[in-house]
Chains A and B, each alone.
Chain A
Amino acid sequence: GENVEQHPSTLSVQEGDSAVIKCTYSDSASNYFPWYKQELGKRPQLIIDIRSNVGEKKDQRIAVTLNKTAKHFSLHITETQPEDSAVYFCAATTRNTGNQFYFGTGTSLTVIP
Chain B
Amino acid sequence: DAGITQSPRHKVTETGTPVTLRCHQTENHRYMYWYRQDPGHGLRLIHYSYGVKDTDKGEVSDGYSVSRSKTEDFLLTLESATSSQTSVYFCAISPSGATYEQYFGPGTRLTVT
B-binding residues in A (CB < 8 A): 1, 6, 32, 34, 36, 42-46, 49, 51, 89, 91, 93, 95, 97-106
Complex contact B101–A1 (CB within 8 A):
no
Which of A32, A43, A46, A91 neighbours the largest number of chain B CB atoms within 10 Å of its CB?
A: A43
Contacts of B104 in A (CB 8 A): 36, 43-45
Within 8 A of A (CB), among B19-58: 31, 33, 40-45, 48-50, 56, 58
Complex contact B101–A46 (CB within 8 A):
yes
- What is the total of A-B residue contacts with beta carbons within 8 Å? 57
Complex contact B90–A106 (CB within 8 A):
no
Q: Which residue of A lies closest to B106 (CB)?
A: A43
Cα of A109 to Cα of B60 in the assembled complex, Å: 27
With known contacts A49-B101, A98-B31, A1–B59 Cβ distance under 8 A: yes
Cα of A95 to Cα of B106 in the assembled complex, Å: 24
The minimal Cβ–Cβ distance linking B94 to chain A, given in whole angstroms, is 6
Number of B positions contacting A (CB below 8 A): 25
Cα of A49 to Cα of B31 in the assembled complex, Å: 19
The minimal Cβ–Cβ distance linking A61 to chain B, given in whole angstroms, is 20
8 smallest beta-carbon distances between A and B, as pairs: A43-B104, A105-B42, A103-B42, A103-B43, A32-B100, A98-B48, A98-B50, A44-B104
The minimal Cβ–Cβ distance linking B29 to chain A, given in whole angstroms, is 11
Complex contact A106–B42 (CB within 8 A):
yes
Contacts of A51 in B (CB 8 A): 100
Contacts of A104 in B (CB 8 A): 42
Complex contact B45–A100 (CB within 8 A):
yes
With known contacts A1-B59, A99-B94, A105–B41 Cβ distance under 8 A: yes
